[in-house]
Structure 1
Amino acid sequence: MKTQSIKVSTVNKEVYKQLRLMISRGEIPPGHKITIRTLAEKFGVSTMPVREAIRRLQAEGFLQIRDRSVVVPNRSLDEVRQIFFIRQQLETLAVEWAYYNFKMQDIERLKMILLEMDAENIPSYDWHLLNRKFHLELYSKAQSTPLLQLIKNVWDTSAAYIHLFQEGGDSFEERQAQHYSMIKLLEEKNAAGLMALLTQHLTDSFNRIKKEMDMLQQT
């Protein structure tokens, strides 16, 4: 009985994790409707763990229930702006707290992640995963579990829009150049410069999304 309970709990967590990941990386785009049965078939499970995952994701703001349908929220430009403002507040706070905890080996780990991101013909999805890894590694030195969890939640809320509207090309090159500048500021022990650059980094990211959303509204 105890073993069965653990197995059910594991399935619930895995379905929740995979569904949240699908939403955050844009596989289920904003405004798209999904059905419980379709998801259950995709994951090879019964509808019960899917219902539980949807309940949790609805509470976290990743899903909405409309007319008995499950929908990924199609956020307005103002909502996306608010999300990025919240990210800015949380992530600059994390950098402020993390700054004095950095050691040379921590900076070397960040450099190794950037080298992976520099790989030729790296798939967009892999680049985004490494980008998230780089930033969370940076913020983890704040040594605050509550703050890091808040950052992850808000990050994942914005991730679908980043995947949809910032795919490759100049966007990757510009962001990567800023990542290397962050490393340099860490090495120079320039906390104010690092926080200012991170603010600009997030502002640029939002502006790219805004440009694409504005163009969509005009079509």
Structure 2
Amino acid sequence: MADQPLERPIDLLDLAPSPNGTKPAGRTSRAQWVYETLRAAIHRHHFTHGDRIREEDVARSLGVSRTPVREALSRLQSRGLLEMAPGGLVIAALARPQIMELYAMREILEGSAARFAALKASQAEIDSLYRIHEAFDRARESAPRMAQVNRDFHQGIYEAGHNRYLMRTLDELHDALTLLPSTTFTVTGRPVTALAEHGAILDAINARDADRAESLARDHIAHALKARLELMFSYA
């Protein structure tokens, strides 16, 4: 994949944050627009690790000059989404030690988010989380759909915690998570256990039991790591 030029330019433009892919005026705003478009493409797995991202290809695909593209690529590299390879910038890949470090941080942060949610969530926010939980249950026959609803569930907990600094840290962490291939919901048994874990976390939040919510959330991420390692490094 690393020797292939950037492909699917129409799809890439469709991911642009402005309506109908309209480009904003000004170099700074255009650089931000290119950055958000490429970040969205990476988050949605439009690219995979090793795909080469050429400055000229992005500029041509989005109809902008190379200057805002250069600035956007530099930001993506600093966020860890791109890395330098012999042929230029490519979508970054995570090795096993990086995955272990990532999930160690995720366990702490997700636990904190659940704790804050138990302390600060409104009843309307908790009710919304229960509705997402029900949607997660209905999605069990589709791993991609489960992954999408799972993101909504966790995002709902973050927002219910009402801590902007934790949200900012989790946003950066999720950049790294998007570099992981596939979804752990393809691992046998994971959909059922994840559903039960979500329900227990949510019940603890609803009961305003911050200690239990944090403990359950941390266990949930530990189990997610086990499934991730099985998915990526099992040789059975």
Q: Tell me the TM-score normalised to structure 1 length.
A: 0.82
Q: Contact 1:24–1:157 (CA<8 Å) still a contact in 2? A: no
Which blocks of at least 5 consecutive residues in structure 2 are unaligned? 1-22
Flag the 1:122–1:45 CA change in 2: closer, same or farther, 3 A.
farther
Percent sequence identity over aligned pairs = 21
- Once the 2 structures are TM-superposed, how far is the Cα of residue 122 of structure 1 from its aligned partner? 7.7
- Mapped partners of 1:41, 1:114: distance in 2: 42
* Structure with greater proportional helix content: 1
- Mapped partners of 1:120, 1:60: distance in 2: 32
Q: Which residue of 2 aligns with 1:166?
A: 184
Secondary structure in 1 matching 2:71: helix
Q: Contact 1:84–1:158 (CA<8 Å) still a contact in 2? A: no
Amino acid at match of 1:141: A
- Mapped partners of 1:76, 1:137: distance in 2: 29
Q: Which residue of 1 aligns with 2:34?
A: 15
**What are the Cα deviations for residues 12-39 of structure 1, in whole angstroms up to 9, with x where unaligned?**
2232122112223433222332222333
Q: Contact 1:165–1:208 (CA<8 Å) still a contact in 2? A: no
- Mapped partners of 1:98, 1:115: distance in 2: 19
Q: Tell me the TM-score normalised to structure 2 length.
A: 0.77
Q: Contact 2:139–2:146 (CA<8 Å) still a contact in 1? A: no
- Mapped partners of 2:193, 2:128: distance in 1: 21
- Mapped partners of 2:192, 2:57: distance in 1: 38
Q: Contact 2:114–2:161 (CA<8 Å) still a contact in 1? A: yes
1:26 and 2:48 matched? no
Amino acid at match of 2:231: E
- Once the 2 structures are TM-superposed, how far is the Cα of residue 60 of structure 1 from its aligned partner? 1.2
RMSD across aligned positions (CA): 2.7
**What are the Cα deviations for residues 72-117 of structure 1, in whole angstroms up to 9, with x where unaligned?**
2222101100001011112212322332112321111112222333
Q: Which residue of 1 aligns with 2:85?
A: 66
- Once the 2 structures are TM-superposed, how far is the Cα of residue 207 of structure 1 from its aligned partner? 1.2
Q: Contact 2:118–2:207 (CA<8 Å) still a contact in 1? A: no
Flag the 1:177–1:14 CA change in 2: closer, same or farther, 3 A.
farther
Higher relative CO (Cα under 8 Å, sequence separation at least 6) belongs to 1
Q: Which residue of 1 aligns with 2:16?
A: none
Amino acid at match of 1:57: L
Flag the 1:75–1:102 CA change in 2: closer, same or farther, 3 A.
same
Secondary structure in 2 matching 1:75: coil
Which blocks of at least 5 consecutive residues in structure 1 are unaligned? none
Flag the 1:48–1:176 CA change in 2: closer, same or farther, 3 A.
farther
- Once the 2 structures are TM-superposed, how far is the Cα of residue 192 of structure 1 from its aligned partner? 2.2
Q: Alignment length, in residue pairs?
A: 213
